[in-house]
Amino acid sequence: MMNISKKKRHFPVSSSLSAYLKKYDRTMRLPITYQDLMRYSDHFPILDREGKDTLWEGVFYDYREMEEIHSGLLDIYQRLRSDGNKEARSHLIVDSIDYCTFGNSNPFRIKIRNLHNDIHDYFYVKKADASRVFGLELEYLLSPNRIDFLVDSDTLIEEHVSGIPGDVFLDKWMDENQNPKRIAKEFVKFNERCFLRLLGDQRSYNFVIVLTPDFDEIKYRIRSIDFDQQSYEPRVNLYKPQFFKENSKYVQFVMDYIDPSSIKQYQHEERSLMSKRMIVARDRMEELFAALSKEKLSTDEKIQQLSQELARELKEPKFLQCTTMGEIVRKLLYFTLRQYEDSSQK
């Protein structure tokens, strides 16, 4: 069983990283911060339809603060979704505020509802952490998915990623209407994406399954919803979802339906796609790595162990020169890019 640090060390957002975020419109002077939301006056457990604890709590605030909090949250939502345009605001309300008691970021989940049509949306308020922000930015630059977020000092605003949680999908959605072969293919590709950018702890409850009906059948995309463990842990296998027991069913799909040559094909496809994204975003990526050049984002012991494991697994001694997690991620990405460029020239 893979062992994840029970409580990850917090790494504040540095001035250099803040400058990078400001340049790329990732910052906002927030009217409501994470600490403001922590001043709730009452709470109650949120149960699922079967009466089980969801690890989320509904929270209430003193009526004297409620209007200010709701107004501030609506400002944040409109900045996140429409660059702060307030023209269509009168019909939006904060429907609920929930607090999660599980995990490192202990997020608040904000539900925004449209009074005209009853359609709702979510976003999250979390404690800002440099490695978490690093993970979100890498997701935006290098994955097939875009994700928006905002940072102000120690508060992080993160958009909601729609999809079915990976564990819920297996329990309640996996039936004869689903295609385990396509799910297996996507898991192979997701596994490769996580490793190439060192995104850890992708157990089934930390990612969602997105189903897209095509003209002939359903396509599947696995998206991470948790970036807390971006390049923090010391073991290579912690960055490969295949090694978590919670993902054993997905691994079994791969073993049942995908032959070794096809696995290599899908891995190569994912490395090629990520390399192409790197070429397009190279200048911005270099600015990101420069902003993180003095940020360790983990302990010295974990950095040393991970660099040693990668050097051994990839037969690349240059990893041993890395002294920060940012350097390790950069080295791994450019190692992948170099392989892609070499193969494309043959």
102-141 confidence digits (pLDDT tens): 877 899 999 999 999 999 999 999 999 999 999 999 999 9
Instruction: Give residue-wise pLDDT tens across range 254-274.
Output: 999 999 999 999 999 999 999
d(CA 118, CA 271): 42
Give 84's pLDDT tier (boundaries 50, 70, 90): low
More confident residue, 156 or 10: 156
108 and 193 in a single domain? The answer is: no
In this predicted structure, the answer to whether residue 5 has a pLDDT above a threshold of 60 is no
Instruction: Indicate whether 310 belongs to any domain.
Output: yes
91 and 154 in a single domain? The answer is: yes
Residue 133: which residues within 8 A CB-CB, separation 6 or more?
A: 13, 17, 21, 149, 151, 156
Instruction: Indicate whether 139 belongs to any domain.
Output: no
Instruction: Indicate whether 143 belongs to any domain.
Output: no
174 and 27 in a single domain? The answer is: no
Helix (H, G, I), strand (E, B) or coil at 105: coil
Instruction: Give residue-wise pLDDT tens across range 201-221.
Output: 999 999 999 999 999 999 999
172 and 263 in a single domain? The answer is: yes
324 and 188 in a single domain? The answer is: yes
In this predicted structure, the answer to whether residue 37 has a pLDDT above a threshold of 60 is yes
62 and 125 in a single domain? The answer is: yes
81 and 214 in a single domain? The answer is: no
Give pairs for 278-283: CB < 8 Å, separation 24+: 278/142, 278/333, 278/336, 278/337, 279/337, 281/141, 281/142
Instruction: Indicate whether 107 belongs to any domain.
Output: yes
In this predicted structure, the answer to whether residue 99 has a pLDDT above a threshold of 80 is yes
Helices (H), the chain: 15-23, 34-37, 63-82, 130-142, 166-168, 180-196, 248-257, 260-280, 282-291, 300-314, 325-344
In this predicted structure, the answer to whether residue 4 has a pLDDT above a threshold of 80 is no
**Contact assessment for residue 187 and residue 169, using Cβ atoms and an 8 Å cutoff:** no
Instruction: Indicate whether 142 belongs to any domain.
Output: no
Q: Which of 159, 180, 199 is the last residue of a domain?
A: 159
Instruction: Indicate whether 135 belongs to any domain.
Output: no
217 and 114 in a single domain? The answer is: no
In this predicted structure, the answer to whether residue 167 has a pLDDT above a threshold of 70 is yes
Residue 235: domain span: 164-344
User: 60 vs 43, 57, 97, 110, 149, CA distance in Å?
Assistant: 6, 10, 8, 12, 25
Beta bridge partners of 27: 151
For 159-195, letters b (16+ CB in 10 Å) and e give bbbebebbbbbbeeeeeeebebeebbbbbbbbbbbbb
20 and 43 in a single domain? The answer is: yes
289 and 339 in a single domain? The answer is: yes
152 and 193 in a single domain? The answer is: no
Give 82's pLDDT tier (boundaries 50, 70, 90): confident
- Using CB atoms within 10 Å of the CB of residue 306, give its burial: 0 to 12 exposed, 13 to 18 middle, 19+ buried: buried
Q: CATH code at 268?
A: 1.10.510
In this predicted structure, the answer to whether residue 22 has a pLDDT above a threshold of 80 is yes
Strand order of the β-sheet with 120-127 is: 42-47, 53-60, 92-100, 108-114, 120-127, 155-159, 149-152
How many domains does the chain contain in total? Answer: 2
185 and 276 in a single domain? The answer is: yes
Q: Which of 116, 140, 159 is the last residue of a domain?
A: 159
Instruction: Indicate whether 296 belongs to any domain.
Output: yes
